[in-house]
Structure 1
C-alpha cells in the first residue's frame, strides 16, 4: 500500500484547496506557503484515518478470534476444496482429538455413515452453487474409531482473499446429552419408573392400535390386582411394598413372555396384560393366568419376612377388531371386580350376560349421589305384626327406597352394598334416620300408643363414630321419645374393625333407645352374652324361620332348635323375639306356637308409605 503522503491525487487536492484559500484571502497569503500548509494538514489527517482503520481491523480480528476460541459450538474452517484447515477448541474436544490429526481431512470425512456423508456433501454442493447456507439438521459426526457424536450441523462460508473463493465453515452443536435426556424423558413417559414395565398410557396406546387393526386375529386383555396389598404396605412399609410390586412385575413378565404380548403396570397394585395372535384362546390365557398365580405364590423375602402374593384376574378374549378401547377396558375391570367379590385369588372370564348385570349394579352405585341430590330417595315402612291373632302392629320397621329414574323402585338390598363402595352409606343412613324419626314423632304426637319405630342400620353407619351424636341430635329435633326408637344391628357390624359398635350401643341404651339384634341362629345370640350387649329384642331370619314353613322332619328339627333358642334368649334377658320372612297364616301359627312374639314378611303385605301407616293408625285408634 502507498504511503499516505504519496497517495495519488493528494498533492492536487492540496493545491486546489490552497488556490481557493489564496483567492479568498487575496495577495496577503502566499500561494506556495499555503500549498505546503494544506498538504501537511491533509497528510496528517490521512495518517490518522489509516491508523484508525488499522486499529478497528485489529480489534475486530481479536474479537473474532476470541469468539472462535471460546465458542461452545464446534467450528471447522475449510479451504475452497472442503479440506479442513482449522478447528476451534470446542470441535477438538467434541471429537477428543487435536488439530494435527483433524487438519487435511475433508469435511465430508466427519460423517460416520453414508447418510451423514451424503448430508454434508449436499450441503457443500448447495454452498458452492449459490452460496446458500445449508439449514441445520441432525448429523452423526466422528473422527477416527472413537464413536460418533450426534450434532446439529449448519454449513456456511466465509469469503477468501479472492472474491471468487468461498471457504466452507461447519458449525456443529453437540446434542448427545440432550438426545439422551429426551430418550430418558420419553421412556419415563411410557414406562413405570418403579417396575420398568410400560405404564397405563403406553398400555392404552397399544390397546387402541391393536383394536383398530382389521384382520389381526384375536386379542386378550387381562386385568390383575394384588390381593390385600394394603396389608403389605401398612404392615411392612412402602419400601417393602415396592419390593413386592417389582417382584410381581418380574413374575408376570416371565410368564407372559412372547411376541405380541405386553405386560403393563396401570396404577398402585394393578397390572394389565395384552396378548394378540391368530390362535389366542380363552383356555390359553387362563392357563397363563393360573401359572402366574402359582409363580407368585412363592414368597419374596423382605428382610426376614417372606411375603406371598395372591392375585385376582379379570379376563376378556375377543376379536381384535371388535369393540372400542373403553368397552374392553370396562369389561376387564368389571370382570376383575367380580373375581375379587368371589373371594379373591380367583380369575373370572368375561361373560356378556353377567357383564350386563354388573354394569347395571355399578351404574346404580355410581348414581347414588345424584339420586340424593335430586330427591329420589324416600322411606317406606314394613309393619311387624303380633302373632297372637290380634293383627296389631308391634313395631314399624323403616326401610329406604330409591325411585330410580331408569330402573324404577329399588329397595335397600339393591343399592346399600354399593353405597358402601362409594362412601354414600352414612349420608343414606342419616336420611333414613331423619325421615323415619320425624314420621314416628308425628305418629306418636297424634297417637301416644303408636308402635315403636325400628331402624335397621347399614353396617357402615352402625360403625360410624358419629352415630350417637346423629341420633341424639335427631331425637332433639324431632321430639321423638328415645324409648320409642329401636336401633337394629347384626353380627357383621359387631365384628367390623372400623368402629366401636359395642360402646355406641351402650351409650344409646343409656339414652333409653332400645337395642335390637338381627340373628340367624344360636351363635349370633351368644354375642349378647359374650359382649354383654344391652339387647332387649331380637329378630330372627334364615333357615330356622324357613324350616317352620315346611312339613315333616325339617319342621320338627327347626321347631326343636327354636325352642332351645327362645329358652336361651330368655336367659340372656331378651324380652321378645320376632321373625322375618313369614310366608302365610299357617307359617305364622307355627311360629307363634313355639313362642315367637311377632313377625313380618310376605304374609303381611309389602311396605307402606308414611301416610299409609298413619291411615292404618287412625283407623285402629278411631275404633278403640
Structure 2
C-alpha cells in the first residue's frame, strides 16, 4: 500500500543502470587521465632527449679539434636521436657565392637512399637556388613537406625515387654570417614542429662557435707567421718553408733550390728625412711590389722561368727574402734564371717606389745563393745568400751578386781578417808613421806631417792601410781604429819640438763613418784638450766622397771645429764626384792634389794643364794647396812653377816612426 506524499524507491534495474553509467564515466575519466599522463610523460621524455641532444652537441662543439670532426659527430647524433633518415652538410664557398656538399653526410638506412645521397654529396647550390641555397640567402631555417613534389626542390627526382616525405635545412652561423648549411630528410610526412626547429637551430648555433673558434685560431696562427705591416710571411714561416723544401731534396737535387736576400738601399734616409710613417709606407709598397712581380713571373709559361715557384717574406727591418723552388738546368742556366728574377724585382721596385720615397731614392741590393750538395743545412744556404747581399751592397746601389766558391773564399778571408783586426785593436798592434810635408820654395823646410796608420800583424808582418782599411770600414771597426789614430797623432804632435818657434802641423785622415758619427766635433775637441796639442796645428783630411754624402752636415761640422782653430783638408781632389758648386759650398782650408795628377805631369802635356786649373781654382776660393806623390825633382820644379805651395812624397821623405820625425825636426 502506497501512502500519499512518500516516494517509491527505485527499482533494482534502475539502480543497476545508474551504477553502470557511473562506472563508464569513471573508466572514461581514468583512461583520459592515463592518456594525458602518458602524453605528458612522452612529451617530457622527448623534451629531455632533445635537451640531452643539445647538450651533447654543445660538448662536441667544445671538444672538436676540427670543423669536420664537429660537423660529422653532430650530424650523426641528430640523425640517430631524432630519427632523420638522411643528414648532409654543405659548406659556403670562399667567395660566398654558393654552398656545396663537402662529403660529410649520414644515412640511417643507406640501402634505400643512396641515389639522394650521391646527388647531394658534391652538389653546388648558388645563392637562392634549392633548399640549401635559399637558407644560405636568407640565414633562416626552412621546412619542406613532400620535397619530391615541390617545384622549388632541385633534387625532386631523387627525392621521389627514395620516397622522402619531409625535409628541412638550417644555417650554421658564425656571428651573423652563414658559414654552412645542415639539411635533414625522412621518409615520413611530418608537419613542421616548432620544438624540433628550435632544437636544431640551437644546435646550429653551437656548431657556429666551432667556426668562430677556428677563425680565431687561424687568425692567431696567421699573425704569428706573417709580418703585420706587409702581410708577407715572416722569418719563422720562411725558415719553415725553406727547411721543408731543403729536406725534400736529395743533396744531388738541391740545385733546384735558391734563396734571394734583398736589403733596401736608401731606406734609412727615408726614415731620417720623412719619418717612420713614410718608412712604413715604403715597406708596404715593397711587399706589394715583390708579390706582384713574382706572381707575374709564375704566370709566364714557355719561358726559362716556367714551373719555378716563389715564396717572398719579410725577415725584419728593411730586409726581404725570396725562396725559389723547382729551378732547372745547369749551373749557368740557374744563375741566368736568378739574374732574370732579380732584374724583374729591381724593375718592380723602381716602378713602385718613386713617388712614395721621394726625395730619397729607394732601391735594393740583392744577393742570392743556389743550393748545392755542400750545403749541409739551410743555415749555410742562408749564410751564403747573406754574404752575397753584403757584397752587392758594398759595391754600390741596386746591384745583384750571386754566391760562388771564389766569392766565398774572398768573403771568408775578409771575415778572418775582420776577426784578426778586432784582436789587433784589442792588443794595440797598430802604430803611426809620419810623412813630412814641405814648403815648395827654396828652403824646402818641413812644415807638417801626415799620420799614416800601420798594422804590425803577428803573422803577416807590417801591413799598409790598403791591406786592411777597407775591411775596417765595412766592419765598422774603423770607428775604433780612427779614434785611436786621432788621439795618437795629436799626442805625438804635442811632443814635437818647434824649430824656429814654429811647430809643425799634423794632418790626420778621417774615415767616412767616423765623420758621420753624431758628436764627432765634440769628440775632436775632447781629444785636443786631453792631449794638449794646439788646435791650429791639426788638419783633418776628408775625401771628396765623404764630404758630399751630406753637404749640410759636412759644412756644419767644419764650421764647428774651425771655431777652435782646427783646419780641414779636402783629400784626393779630382778623383771623386764633387762638382765645382759643391766645392764652393764646402769651407775647406786645404786642397790636396791627388798623386795621379802629379804623376801625369811631363812639362808640356794635359797633366800640367789639369794641375794648373786645380791650383787656380784653389787660389780663387782661398785654399792652401798640397801636392801628393812627388817622387822626382822634376815634378817638384814643375809644381813650383805652377804655384803649388806645399808638397809631400818620396822625393822629400818616406813615412817614418814618431822618433825619427822628432830627430828630423831637431836637425
1:94 and 1:181, CA in 2 relative to 1: closer, same or farther beyond 3 A?
farther
Measured at CA, do residues 594 and 345 of structure 1 come closer, stay the same or move farther in structure 2, by a change above 3 Å?
same
**Aligned match of 2:316 in 263, 267, 275?**
267
Match of 1:207 in 2: 242
Indicate the residue corresponding to 2:508 in structure 1.
455
Instruction: Output the CA distance in 2 between the equivalents of 1:601 and 1:72.
Output: 96
2:392 and 2:282 mapped to 1: Cα distance?
A: 23
Q: 1:577 aligns with which of 625, 635, 650?
A: 625
Give yes or no for the alignment of 1:225 onto 2:263. Answer: yes
Residue 439 of structure 1: how far off its partner (Å) = 1.0
The answer as to whether partners of 2:449 and 2:504 remain within 8 angstroms in 1 is yes
Q: Distance in 2 between matches of 1:366 and 1:75?
A: 63
Q: Provide the secondary structure at the position in 2 that maps to 1:345.
A: coil
Could you tell me how far 1:442 is from its partner in structure 2? 1.3
CA contact (8 A) 1:313 1:346 kept: yes
Matches within 5 A, 1:370-519: 371-386=424-439, 392-404=445-457, 409-413=462-466, 415-416=468-469, 419=472, 423-444=476-497, 449-464=502-517, 466-497=519-550, 500-519=553-572
Q: Within 2, Cα distance between the matches of 1:92 and 1:182? A: 18
Total equivalences in the alignment: 486
Structure 1 residues 314 and 515, CA gap change in structure 2 (3 angstroms): closer
Can you give the 5+ residue segments of structure 1 that lack an aligned partner in the other structure?
Answer: 1-63, 77-90, 118-142, 150-171
Q: Which moved more, 1:584-593 or 1:449-458?
A: 584-593
- The 3 A distance-change label for structure 1 pair 99 and 251 is closer
Shift of 1:332: 1.7
C-alpha contact (below 8 Å) 1:223/1:273 kept by paired residues: no
Q: 1:276 aligns with which of 318, 326, 331?
A: 326
Contact map agreement 1:540 1:577 (CA 8 A) in 2: yes
Partner of 2:614: 565
The SS at the match of 1:237 is helix
CA contact (8 A) 2:454 2:465 kept: yes
Aligned counterpart, 1:123: none
CA distance in 2, matches of 1:332, 1:448: 60
How far the C-alpha of 1:438 sits from its partner, in A, is 0.9
1:600 aligns with 2:637: no
Equivalent residue for 2:585, pick from 520, 531, 538: 531
Mapped partners of 1:468, 1:296: distance in 2: 38
Indicate if the aligned counterparts of 1:463 and 1:498 stay in contact, CA closer than 8 A: no
Are the counterparts in 1 of residues 255 and 371 from structure 2 also a CA contact under 8 Å?
yes
**Structure-2 separation of matches of 1:478 and 1:284:** 59
- The structural deviation recorded for 1:189 is 4.0
CA contact (8 A) 2:497 2:665 kept: no
Q: Is the 8 A contact 2:628 2:648 kept in 1?
A: yes
Shift of 1:254: 0.8
Mapping for residues 246-325 of structure 1, pairs under 5 Å: 246-257=287-298, 261-265=309-313, 266-269=315-318, 270-279=320-329, 281-299=334-352, 310-319=363-372, 322=375, 324-325=377-378
Deviation at 1:398, TM superposition (A): 1.3
Match of 1:616 in 2: 664
Aligned partners of 1:223 and 1:333 also within 8 Å: yes
TM-score normalized with structure 1 length? 0.63
Conserved in 2, the CA contact under 8 Å of 1:300 and 1:306? no
C-alpha distance in 1 between matches for 2:655 and 2:211: 76
What is the 5 A alignment of 1:38-53?
A: none
In structure 2, list runs of 5 or more residues that go unmatched.
1-47, 61-69, 90-101, 108-167, 173-178, 181-205, 299-305
Matched residues in 2 for 1:291 and 1:331: separation?
22
Structure 1 residues 456 and 254, CA, compared in 2 at 3 Å: closer, same or farther? Answer: same
> Structure 2 vs 1, CA of residues 283 and 116 (structure 1 numbering), >3 Å: closer, same or farther?
farther
Q: Partners of 2:357 and 2:464 in 1: how far apart?
A: 50
Write the distance in 2 (CA, Å) between the matches of 1:244 and 1:92.
42
Task: Tell me if the contact between 1:211 and 1:321 (Cα under 8 Å) persists in the aligned partners.
Answer: no
C-alpha contact 2:346 2:363 (8 A) present in aligned 1: yes
Pick which of 417-426 and 437-446 moved more: 417-426
Q: What is the SS of the residue equivalent to 2:351?
A: coil
Q: C-alpha distance in 2, partners of 1:510/1:92?
A: 81
Cα shift readout 1:29-50 (whole Å, capped 9, x = no counterpart): xxxxxxxxxxxxxxxxxxxxxx
Aligned to 2:200: none
Offset of 1:435 from its aligned partner? 1.1
Residue 283 of structure 1: how far off its partner (Å):
1.7
CA distance in 2, matches of 1:304, 1:595: 47
Aligned position for 1:216: 253
How far off its partner does 1:547 sit? 0.9
Q: Distance in 2 between matches of 1:303 and 1:217?
A: 39
Question: Paired residue for 2:122?
Answer: none
Counterpart CA distance in 2 for 1:467 and 1:302 is: 34
Q: TM-score, normalised by structure 2?
A: 0.59
Once the two structures are superposed, the pairs formed by residues 346-361 of structure 1 within 5 Å of their partners are 346-361=399-414
* C-alpha spacing 1:207/1:363, structure 2 compared with 1 (3 Å): farther
CA drift of 1:333 comes to 2.0
- Residue 395 of structure 1 deviates from its aligned partner by 1.4
Change (3 A) 1:97 1:205: closer
Deviation at 1:563, TM superposition (A): 2.9
In structure 1, the residue matched to 2:81 is 102
Post-superposition Cα deviations, 1:162-197, rounded to whole Å, max 9, x if no partner, equal xxxxxxxxxx99866555554444444444444444
SS at match of 1:299: helix
Residue number in structure 1 paired with 2:282: 241
Instruction: Call closer, same or farther: CA 1:115–1:361 in 2, change over 3 Å.
Output: farther
**SS of the residue 2:523 aligns to:** helix
How far off its partner does 1:441 sit? 1.0
Distance across 1 between alignment mates of 2:72 and 2:243? 46
DSSP-derived class of the 2:322 partner: strand
Residue matched to 2:98: none
2-structure distance, mates of 1:567, 1:300:
43
**What is the distance in 2 between the residues matched to 1:512 and 1:303?**
44
